[in-house]
Amino acid sequence: MKLLPLRLLVLLLAASLLSACSPRLMLVRGVADELAGQGLVEEEDLQLARESSAFYLKLSESLLRQTPGHLALAESVAGGFTQYAYAFVAFEADRLESRDARAAQQLRQRAVRLYGRAHRHAMAALEQHHDGVFLKRLQQTPTQQPLPPLPAEQVGLAYWAAASWAAYISLSKDRPEAVADLPLALRLAEWAWVTQPAHGEGALAALLGTLEASRPGGSARRAESLFDQAIGAAGGRNAGTLVGKAETLALPAGDRATFEALLRQALAVPGQSLGNQVMRQRAQWLLDSADDLF
Transcribe 185-241 into DSSP letters: HHHHHHHHHHH-TTTTTTHHHHHHHHHHHHSTT--HHHHHHHHHHHHHHHTT--HHH
**What pLDDT shows up at residue 172?**
95
Segments of the chain with pLDDT less than 70: 1-43, 144
**What pLDDT shows up at residue 105?**
97
Radius of gyration of the chain (CA): 19
**What pLDDT shows up at residue 44?**
72
Give the Cα separation of 268 and 257 in Å (integer): 17
**What pLDDT shows up at residue 12?**
47
Give the Cα separation of 119 and 79 in Å (integer): 9
**What pLDDT shows up at residue 26?**
47
**What pLDDT shows up at residue 60?**
84
**What pLDDT shows up at residue 14?**
45
**What pLDDT shows up at residue 147?**
80
**Global pTM?**
0.87
**What pLDDT shows up at residue 183?**
93
**What pLDDT shows up at residue 24?**
47
Residue ranges in the chain assigned as alpha helix (H): 6-17, 21-38, 46-66, 71-84, 91-96, 101-129, 134-140, 155-170, 176-179, 182-195, 203-214, 220-234, 239-245, 256-267, 274-288, 290-293
**What pLDDT shows up at residue 40?**
44
Comparing CA positions, the residue from 160, 163, 87, 101 lying closest to residue 125 is: 160
